Amino acid sequence: MKKPKIAEWTELRGLAFLAIVMQHNIAEYIYRPDIEQPDSVMLTMIYHLTRFGTPTFVFLSGVLLFYHHRHIKPDYPRFIRKRFGDIYMPFFIWTFVYWLAVRVFTPTFWTSGMPDLGSFVHELFIPQTGYHLWFVLMVFQFYILFPLFLAGAHAVRKRLDNLKRFTSKQVTLTIILVAAILYLWLMKWSYYDMADWTQSWPDPWSSMLEYRSYSWLLYWFYFLLGAVCAWTVESWRNWTLKALPCMATVFVAMYIWMGYDVLRGSENTMNLNISTYLKPTTFISIMAQMLMLYGFLVLLNGKNLWFQRLLAWIGRYSFGGYLVHALVIYAIAYVTRPLHLSGWHLPVAIISFVVTVVTALGISWTLSKLPGSRLSVGLTRSKARQVTSFSNSLAGSGRRTRNQNPPLGSASKN
């Protein structure tokens, strides 16, 4: 039997995609030398509203993997083959597209003879031109290791079922709290200590620490939280609703603190790296905001508002949109970088964000209708037709229940 489709997961994914696109547009404008302080401060404030994007994709990857396999042991060779086709092949193709796109606009590319294919191989391990594609490499590690995670989840679940002194909810909450403390400690090491370790440790350890953000080890807590959500969907929904006021309060407090932290640590140019994912205070802010948004979407469940339908549509095509959006930003920057935008960086960044979202999702939607769509955007044409058909019937009926929300597609499309 097909499992019920959970509406808020698709909508949350749409929000996460929008947040990431906004982050990358802000990064394009905030470091320009002609930016004025009011624009710089406002862009920093907007930036701190978007930090939940990437960790939320990790959370949703864990949610969907455990939700669809919690009672079914996956056939590992088939499981990896499918994920390789849905995730890694689009990554490979778009890595080549970014590598080639950057070079064809370089005069030496046409005069140097054979292109440097070694640099392309390097991009497959440490993406630079497609700077956002590191996330696909990182999240793919969770799929490779998923059978181990699933076995561990089943072992924990078996122990919870045999508990007598404590309830399973109490033990689950304890596990989450202990894991959060351990993860906070890991973030402390990452932000405050590991930079020094890279200077003192020999290779290959120093190189591994330098690129630590490419490793699943730095994001495992979000994946763990996704497993908890997948195994206890209704309890998770009820808890996020009850915790909504608390999470909103924590997020507002951390949002103010993060803004102050960046202002205090920056000089002439805002240093957004102060708010990196791998920092304890950023982690607390992300968790509060993500749980707040989840509770908010649960609160709206079944209302079928226009922006819910829009977020759901964005969520369905978000993987392709994610893959292509940096290329759109490159194209916009080709026009805007020669311009003098003093006093206009904020509005231009917002306009660029809108253009990027519309163009990237339009390209993703178009590619999903063409042959080879699985290799380009990780979505087969049959699935795309189902999505369109469902969307049309949904718009006509004006009704939606939790079980009627269309499928999200592959769990890894981030």
- Give pLDDT tens digits along the chain (414 positions): 567 788 999 999 999 999 999 999 999 999 999 999 999 999 999 999 999 999 999 999 999 999 988 877 788 889 999 999 999 999 999 999 999 988 887 766 656 666 678 889 999 999 999 999 999 999 999 999 999 999 998 888 888 777 777 787 888 899 999 999 999 999 999 999 887 787 778 777 788 888 889 999 999 999 999 999 999 999 999 999 999 999 999 999 999 999 999 999 988 889 999 999 999 999 999 999 999 999 999 999 888 889 999 999 999 999 999 999 999 999 999 999 999 999 999 999 999 999 999 999 999 999 999 998 999 998 876 555 554 443 443 344 344 333 333 333 333 333
3-class SS letters over the chain: CCCCCCHHHHHHHHHHHHHHHHHHHHHHHHCCCCCCHHHHHHHHHHHCCCCCHHHHHHHHHHHHHHHHHCCCCCCHHHHHHHHHHHHHHHHHHHHHHHHHHHHHCCHHHHHCCCCCHHHHHHHHHCCCCCHHHHHHHHHHHHHHCHHHHHHHHHHHHHHHHCCCCCCHHHHHHHHHHHHHHHHHHHHHHHHHHHHHHHHHCCCCHHHHHHCHHHCHHHCHHHHHHHHHHHHCHHHHHHHHHHHHHHHHHHHHHHHHHHHHHHHHHCCCCCCHHHHCCCCHHHHHHHHHHHHHHHHHHHHCCCCCCHHHHHHHHHHHCHHHHHHHHHHHHHHHHHHHCCCCCCCCHHHHHHHHHHHHHHHHHHHHHHHHCCCCHHHHHCCCHHHHHHHHHHHHHHHHHCCCCHHHCCCCCCCCCC
Name residues whose C-beta falls within 8 Å of residue 64's C-beta, 6 or more positions apart in sequence.
9, 226, 230, 408, 410, 411
List the chain domain ranges.
7-404
pTM above 0.85? Answer: yes
End-to-end CA distance of the chain: 26
- By C-alpha distance, which of 285, 184, 190, 216 is closest to 58? 216
> Is the torsion defined by CA of 315, 286, 127, 137 positive or negative?
negative
Residue type, 274: I
- The two tokens of residue 31 are 């470091």
Tokens 């939606």 belong to residue: 400
Distance of CA 407 to the CA centre of its chain: 18
